[in-house]
Amino acid sequence: MLNTAAKTEAPGSEQELTDGFHLVIDALKLNGINTIYGVPGIPITDLGRMMQAEGIRVLSFRHEQNAGYAASIAGYLTKKPGICLTVSAPGFLNGLTALAHATTNCFPMILISGSSEREIVDLQQGDYEEMDQLAIAKPLCKAAFRVLHAADIGIGVARAIRAAVSGRPGGVYLDLPAKLFGQVMDAAAGQKSLVKVIDAAPAQIPAPSAVKRALDVLKSAKRPLIILGKGAAYAQADEDIRKFVEKSGVPFLQMSMAKGLLPDTHAQSAGAARSTVLKDADVVMLIGARLNWLLSHGKGKTWGEAPKKFIQIDIEPKEMDSNVEIVAPVVGDIGSCVSALLEAMGGNWSPAPADWLATVARKRDENVAKMAPKLMSNASPMDYHGALGALRTIVKERPDAIFVNEGANTLDLARGVIDMYKPRKRLDVGTWGVMGIGMGYSIAAAIETGKPVLAVEGDSAFGFSGMEIETICRYKLPICIVIFNNDGIYRGTDVNAASADPATTVFVKGSRYDKMMEAFGGVGINATSPDELKRAVNEAMDSGKPTLINAVIDPAAGSESGRIGNLNPQSVLKKK
């Protein structure tokens, strides 16, 4: 039953009452929100308890940032806002990084935070966990709201949901002061105040003229390229996107989290010929992908000398011309746009020139063949390619599993080596290249999809959210964590010549992260060769038991900053 109101004896009459706690719960349930990620404490401990009692799944984390990352990826996977629930000031701030991350990555998420007494906070009189949270959240998210009256909870929750998922999705902050939860009102009036959000993310249909313009440009191309971004994966328009790409006959690149939207092994995939297609293409169609740093802003060396025309499909009009001229902007939601493109192509569309596709395929096959022997190495200590070769086979055999990935070399090399076969199976550091998403993403992926999770983590990356292995063991989630342990950040070989302190990028040599897992009743394994690693991962995936595998990687194997070392500023002064 939705209405959680309680019968209360009011003097003289029996009146049914409800309060802020129950109205928040009812408002969320009415809108189909049934999972919360958070950390309890004043003023939201009882809210969490009551939510659980009312059948909402409440996952209690060890740090709000990880709960926030979990909520953000839950939003990406489900197209419903992921909810993170935090306490005031420090809990709120811990969750805020994830809220900003959700906004940057266009994931729908709502950070609901308890807050302290407005009257005291606003006079800066030093309340318990005093902070003007609404003001701080505002610049970091898509929208921010505060509810002061129980009768407004329904509207507040509805606005937060709609703001998070409509248009370009993003993070929303909802501030709920402590006093609100205890406010009492008539239950029937409370019930009436709730709002069910109808059509939370309305379709945004592109203009037919924009669709025609885009197809005209595509038709004129000699060497076209399609780039699929995570916006395309988010749209869940998988079938239409596949049909469109296949009908067009155009080679495609998939951005990191779009990998698997079409199988990476697809005949038109240009994944292993990235530098060739970026340089040589004459028309580039971006679908749910932004021309940000991840695509070198659409200009410069990466994009070569050949003049290019860009077609861009995005829900956000402001995205157009952000870095280069877009000759054919198509604004609308990806699902509507792709279906309109398909329809407008008609029955006799001539596919892209076959010689271009053949050139791309040749280059791709050459590069794949070059890489193959490296992936078969069974050397110990392992290098990245040997270890990834083993994991690549496992992912191929288990295409439904979710693959979570963070680190520097661990991320960049895994992205290149591990083929994905189904949409939304690869979850990683996203637009910011942020470390710390690993355990939060893994937990939410397991909870939201019910599928097994394989998390491949650099030893540094893992450290940002490592304490959540207790959470994983507590909820008995089918998550297998593989730590690529090379004794540090990028490499474990740096030396500090100036003092006895270790170099800034190195960790304790020979650490055994597997022992941490055992402390919480999970399975811990130390793997020193690709064969051992393969056996251990397969066993973990078969058993579904929380497992952590410490994969010992040669500390000298990595390179500075993985594949993006060029972004490091250089000192012009001579080294001392």
Ligand X SMILES: Cc1ncc(C[n+]2csc(CCOP(=O)(O)OP(=O)(O)O)c2C)c(N)n1
Which is nearest to 84 in space by CA: 149, 135, 137? Answer: 137
**CB-nearer residue toward ligand X: 145 or 464:** 464
Give the span between the Cα atoms of 200 and 191, in whole angstroms: 20
Residue sitting closest to ligand X (CB) = 458
436 contact, one of ligand X, Mg ion, none, CB 5-8 Å limit per kind: ligand X
**CB-nearer residue toward Mg ion: 319 or 459:** 459
Give the span between the Cα atoms of 278 and 100, in whole angstroms: 30
The only residue of 95, 430, 440, 458 in contact with ligand X, by rule CB under 6 A? 458
Q: Does 113 bind ligand X (CB under 6 A)?
A: no
Residue holding tokens 């076209």? 224
Q: Give the nearest distance from C-beta 412 to ligand X in angstroms.
A: 8
User: Residue type for 295, please?
Assistant: L
Q: Give the nearest distance from C-beta 437 to Mg ion in angstroms.
A: 16
Q: Give the nearest distance from C-beta 421 to ligand X in angstroms.
A: 24
409 contact, one of Mg ion, ligand X, none, CB 5-8 Å limit per kind: ligand X
Q: Give the nearest distance from C-beta 470 to Mg ion in angstroms.
A: 22
**CB-nearer residue toward Mg ion: 48 or 458:** 458
Give the span between the Cα atoms of 309 and 284, in whole angstroms: 6
Is 180:43 a contact under the CB 8 Å cutoff?
Answer: no
Q: Per CB under 6 A, which region of 100-108, 129-137, 266-274, 403-411 contacts ligand X?
A: 403-411
Q: Does 558 bind ligand X (CB under 6 A)?
A: yes
Structure tokens at 540: 């973990």
**CB-nearer residue toward Mg ion: 486 or 550:** 486
**Strand (E) or helix (H) holding 331:** strand 328-331
Which is nearest to 484 in space by CA: 388, 542, 550? Answer: 550
Q: Give the nearest distance from C-beta 366 to ligand X in angstroms.
A: 27
Q: What is the DSSP string of 394-459?
A: HHHH-TTSEEEEESSHHHHHHHHH----STT-EEE-GGGT-S--HHHHHHHHHHHH---EEEEEEH
The only residue of 54, 314, 459, 514 in contact with ligand X, by rule CB under 6 A? 459
- List interacting residues with Mg ion (CB under 5 A): 458-459, 486
The only residue of 72, 105, 486, 550 in contact with ligand X, by rule CB under 6 A? 486
- Cα 67 to chain centroid, rounded: 13
461 contact, one of Mg ion, ligand X, none, CB 5-8 Å limit per kind: ligand X
Contact partners, residue 522, CB within 8 Å, separation at least 6: 469, 472, 473, 545, 546, 547, 548
Q: Kindly write out the interface string for residues 408-427 of this chain, putting x where it contacts ligand X by CB under 6 A and - elsewhere.
A: xxx-----------------
Q: Kindly write out the interface string for residues 515-554 of this chain, putting x where it contacts ligand X by CB under 6 A and - elsewhere.
A: ----------------------------------------
Structure tokens at 34: 């049934």
Contact partners, residue 541, CB within 8 Å, separation at least 6: 394, 398, 401, 452, 454, 478, 480
Is 395:541 a contact under the CB 8 Å cutoff?
Answer: no
Is 299:274 a contact under the CB 8 Å cutoff?
Answer: no
The only residue of 141, 472, 489, 549 in contact with ligand X, by rule CB under 6 A? 489
Instruction: Please tell me whether residue 310 adopts helix, strand or coil conformation.
Output: strand
Q: Does 389 bind ligand X (CB under 6 A)?
A: no
Q: Give the nearest distance from C-beta 199 to ligand X in angstroms.
A: 36
Q: Does 435 bind ligand X (CB under 6 A)?
A: yes
Q: Does 562 bind ligand X (CB under 6 A)?
A: yes
Residue list 36-55, contact with ligand X (CB under 6 A): none
Binding residues for ligand X, rule: CB under 6 A, are 407-410, 433-436, 458-461, 484, 486, 489-490, 558, 562
